[in-house]
Amino acid sequence: MLKKLTLAGALSLAAVLAPVSQTSSFASPAIFENMSGKWRGKGLVKASPKGKNESIRCRMSNKPNGASRINLSGNCAVSGFVFSLNGFIQQNGSKNSYTASMFRSLANLKQSNFSGQRSGSKINFSFKARDRVSKQNVEAKIRLNSKNAKAFDVQISRTDPKSGKIFNVGTITFAKR
Amino acid sequence: MMNGFGLEKLGLFALRAPILATIALLLASLAAAFGVYKLQFSGENIEILRDGSQELTDYDELLSEFRDFNNDAVILMRLPNLATVDGIETFRELNFEFQLDDRVESILSIFSMVTYAGPELGWQSALPAEFETDEQVLQSLKKLAKDIPSSQSLFSENFDSAVMVVYTKADAIIDANVRETMWGLEELGKEFETDEISISIAGQPAIRSDLIRSIASDITYLAPLAVILCAILAFVLFRSPIAMFLCAFPSLLAIFWFLGGAGLSGTSLNFLTNILPVLLIVIIFADTLHLYLKWQSLCEREENALKALEEAIREIGPACGISSLTTGAALLSLCFSGNNGLFELGLVGAIGVLGGFFAIMIGMPVTAYWATLSGFKPKGTNTHALSAIAAPAMRLLRWRKSVMAGGIILCGLGLFAHSMIDSRFRLIDYLGTASEVGQSEGYIDQTYNGTTPLFAVVDMDLALALDDPKNEQRVYDTIDAVTDVFPAGSFYSLADFADEIKKHGGRVSADLIDQIPRALTSRFISENKDKVLVTIFSSANLSASDMQVRLSKLQYALDKRGLADTVRVTGYPVLSGVVAPRLMDNLRISLILAVGLSILIISLAAGSWRLGLACLVPNLLPIVMVELILYMMGIPLNLSITVALTVAFGIAVDDSVHMLNQYMINRKDHETSTAVQGALKEVTPAIFSTTLILSGGLIVMSFSSLPAMAVFSAVVIMTLVIAFLADIFQLPAYLILMDKDVD
């Protein structure tokens, strides 16, 4: 159960970041314009390297707020759990640099802001934070891969608190509703 | 003539100041129109049962310390075969769809079942994240049923259906939102429906939504339709559209004022108070007809129609006032039942009857005044021929002692039935016959163990740790007791989790519970860990006696294990199986008391306790005879029938009061027997007409989509007929007997 919560926290991060990849190869206003709308996510994820795969589904509804910011709302569900994705993504001064904050409802992680860098059609995010339950520093890596205008994949990997090694959490595929 | 306590002066005032009265009518109707616009309906059914009893206190504690289980909707998916990849994946998607809906807080289904994989891996879904073959699905479901027996309550044995419990957010299912929420959830389900797959919703929120829809539909369409049908029958009888209008107008006005008053006062109409419009139709139409027929009769002797109307109001007004008083008293008697629902019904009903009296005493004279000014004058019609109906009653007066003996025997049989008849409170009785919710409830009751859980609340010893053997034993003893009465797999508790952990050598602890979201743990343990729940899947649709037997067995099993002081059984089935029948018993006791009270009022109005007493058997007969018929037909009492008996009593008294009133008018100039025969001849056409018209009008209510409303109208019609027979065959005999000493 505990592991599920941690897992869901990481997955929610991925889900929130996901729309960025779709538009990452464009200028900021176009990115946020393309990100607006409703999205469905679907995939398999697991909580630990030896853990069992779990089904995950996400729903998002995004609204641009000015030229360099977009507000996100929605939820992800894993097994019996639902997690809010509410938050925002903001483009920083440099067009390839982003800041986001949408973890406040996810009590598992103390750190609420993270940043990412765009590279072509992919954006790689990484963050380090203290896991509230395990009390350990964890690192997560998220790769957003824009496949086309209406779909993208989110690949998530994170630190296994036990071994300290990064393992592949899973992939969520998003499609526009 | 009876003493109307001066109430008839209202009608005389309206006739003397018609413009003022018309303005008052218009202003009252304008305010009512505003109120009708604000009228709300309520699907509430627990507040109605609230009576300050221990059962309600236990139930309140359950909801406050665990969760509000009344927010649980049950989604039923019926499909050819769940044990296939297509079947189970469709159900999985349906789960996610509901889980991610904004109106939903959490879900309980086979996909939220977890197994413990040891300290390293923790909790994992009991079912795989995806399936590849049908055989894999079949084996997984079989394993789930074996490993977690309570999961058997979430899918059918032959895999043709599955359910999920959807805990809706509280604000999504308040009365104002519940219909929209249920509609939204139905729409979600529709996305998954095919020729072979159906999705339906049951459970409390769905029932409440359907109740509101049905109540609104009955009040909006059926009640006015009943008045219109009564009016058409009045037209057939009087062959005059103006006469028809004059007779129907006060009923329509009373319903309009009633609905407007409810809207203005913020009183939401519920499944009890929605019968009041029918009650008003019955009482007001009957009294208006008496008044009209008297006016018509007096017009034969009096050239001036307005003078005749004034005389009619003087003669019939007191009887109308007394019948309103007795009906109001009968309704007010419900206020002493100590029950919220009945208190509201009694108070709102009494106010409605008062409004109805105003509608007759102002509405009828005012409309009659304007009709007369335009040249209308009531003319003798074929109603005179109806006097012939009184002939057999007059002939029977020769054998009045036998008639009375027969009445007393029937009354005795009826009172026996009154004490023997079973009662049942099923919410689905208040749903339409075509209601999908009702059908789903029936299916779930049959295939699973029902949608409405029963709970055994186990007090934990706070001085000990949660996993202390003493506390643990208390929970397992409770489960043993539950197993004595309910089948394995029909209940779940924290013990299911504890057993899972034990497989890997662990123990349940408060810390471990705190790591699970409260939305899930609230189904097993109270927030401060001092109470543990054993949740038993059950139905709220059993008869009171069936539920009481189960509860007694469970209590016996708990007592046997020394758990009487530490475990309490509660849940909606307790309310429907114990509290609701008690409410019905109280209602029937109130009714018998109301009979006594009405006899007292009649005695005061007649100035003779003998004449009051003469009305006792004729007024008891319609009630107890209906109970006898229901008892013989094996139909248990429900709240609607019990309330219908109150209405029935109002009707019975109404006819008696008019008969007695006429008798007292005749008695001034004639000896008892002649006065009785004169009253029979004079009043029989009126009470026969009212019985005929109201029965005809109420037949439309039998077409209500609500079975309870259909039964209600059938009971009222039966009572109308029996009350008519009792008033023409029984009451005259009693009048002669009780009043003979005066001769």
Given this model, what pLDDT does residue A14 score? Answer: 39
How far apart, in whole angstroms, are the C-alpha atoms of residue B532 and residue B494? Answer: 7
**Bridge partners of A159?**
A166
Q: Which residues of A61-95 are buried (b: 16+ CB within 10 A; e: fewer)?
A: ebebeeebebbbbbbbbbbbbbbbbbbbbbbeeee
How far apart, in whole angstroms, are the C-alpha atoms of residue B739 and residue B461? Answer: 72
SS (H, E, C) B69-91: HHHEEEEEEECCCCCCHHHHHHH
Number of structural domains in chain A = 1
Residue span of the structural domain in which A157 resides? 8-176
**A2 in a structural domain:** no
Low-confidence ranges of chain B (pLDDT < 50): 742-743
Given this model, what pLDDT does residue B381 score? Answer: 58
Q: Mutating which of A78, A79, A106 best tests the B interface, going by the most B Cβ atoms within 10 A?
A: A79
SS (H, E, C) B573-614: HHHHHHHHHHHHHHHHHHHHHHHHHHHHHHHHHHCCHHHHHH
Answer whether B136 touches A (CB < 8 Å). Answer: no
- One-letter amino acid at B32 equals A
Answer whether B111 touches A (CB < 8 Å). Answer: yes
Helix (H) or strand (E) holding A116: strand A113-119
Given this model, what pLDDT does residue B436 score? Answer: 78
Query: Is B203 within 8 Å of B185 (Cβ atoms)?
Result: no
By residue count, chain B amounts to 743
Answer whether B100 touches A (CB < 8 Å). Answer: yes
Given this model, what pLDDT does residue B239 score? Answer: 81
Complex ipTM value: 0.82
**Bridge partners of B76?**
B163, B200
Tell me the torsion sign for CA atoms B702, B703, B708, B709: negative
**A20 in a structural domain:** yes
Report pTM: 0.78
Determine the number of helices (DSSP H) and then strands (DSSP E) in chain B.
29, 10
For B125, the closest of A5, A52, A58 (CB atoms) is: A52
How far apart, in whole angstroms, are the C-alpha atoms of residue B51 and residue B339? Answer: 4
Judging contacts by C-beta atoms under 8 Å, the chain A residues touching residue B112 are 79-80
Q: Which of residues 469-528 of B touch A (CB under 8 A)?
A: 512, 515-517, 520
User: Bigger pLDDT: B554 or A11?
Assistant: B554
Q: In 3D, which of B600, B604, B631, B637 has the Cα closest to residue B616?
A: B600
**A1 in a structural domain:** no
SS (H, E, C) B635-658: CCECHHHHHHHHHHHHHHHHHHHH
Q: In 3D, which of B511, B502, B563, B577 has the Cα closest to residue B534?
A: B563
Rounded to a whole number of angstroms, the distance from the CA of B340 to the nearest CA of chain A is 38
Q: Is B156 left (phi over 0), alpha (psi -120 to 50) or beta?
A: beta
Q: Is B194 left (phi over 0), alpha (psi -120 to 50) or beta?
A: beta
Does A79 contact B112 at a Cβ distance shorter than 8 Å?
Answer: yes
Give the Cα-Cα-Cα angle B436, B536, B201 (nearest 5 degrees). 15
**Residue in the structure block whose two tokens are 């005795």:** B412
Judging contacts by C-beta atoms under 8 Å, the chain B residues touching residue A50 are 120-121
Judging contacts by C-beta atoms under 8 Å, the chain A residues touching residue B123 are 1-4
Given this model, what pLDDT does residue A108 score? Answer: 45
Q: Mutating which of B123, B148, B509 best tests the A interface, going by the most A Cβ atoms within 10 A?
A: B123
Q: Mutating which of A58, A82, A167 best tests the B interface, going by the most B Cβ atoms within 10 A?
A: A82
Residue of B nearest to A76 (CA): B100
Judging contacts by C-beta atoms under 8 Å, the chain B residues touching residue A79 are 111-112, 114, 125
Does B129 contact A55 at a Cβ distance shorter than 8 Å?
Answer: yes
**pLDDT category, A107, cuts 50, 70, 90?**
very low
Which CATH number do you get for residue A39?
A: 2.40.128.20
Kindly state the DSSP code that residue A108 receives in the 8-state scheme.
T
Q: Which residues touch B548 (CB under 8 Å, ≥6 apart)?
A: B577, B578
How far apart, in whole angstroms, are the C-alpha atoms of residue B303 and residue B297? Answer: 12
Give the Cα-Cα-Cα angle B319, B324, B327 (nearest 5 degrees). 125
Q: CB pairs below 8 Å between A and B: how many?
A: 73
Given this model, what pLDDT does residue A31 score? Answer: 61
**A19 in a structural domain:** yes
Centre a 10 Å sphere on the Cβ of residue B273 and count the other Cβ atoms it contains. 25
Q: Give me the helices (H) in chain A, please.
A: 2-23, 28-35
The Cα-based distances of B58 to A91, B23, B289, B425, B569 in angstroms read 55, 53, 50, 20, 8
**A118 in a structural domain:** yes
Cβ burial of B326 (10 Å; 0-12, 13-18, 19+) is buried
Q: In 3D, which of B546, B626, B642, B628 has the Cα closest to residue B585?
A: B642
Residue A60 has pLDDT above 80, yes or no: yes
Query: Is B533 within 8 Å of B523 (Cβ atoms)?
Result: yes
Answer whether B122 touches A (CB < 8 Å). Answer: yes
Does B99 contact A52 at a Cβ distance shorter than 8 Å?
Answer: no
**A150 in a structural domain:** yes
Q: In 3D, which of B626, B686, B625, B697 has the Cα closest to residue B656?
A: B686
Answer whether B118 touches A (CB < 8 Å). Answer: no
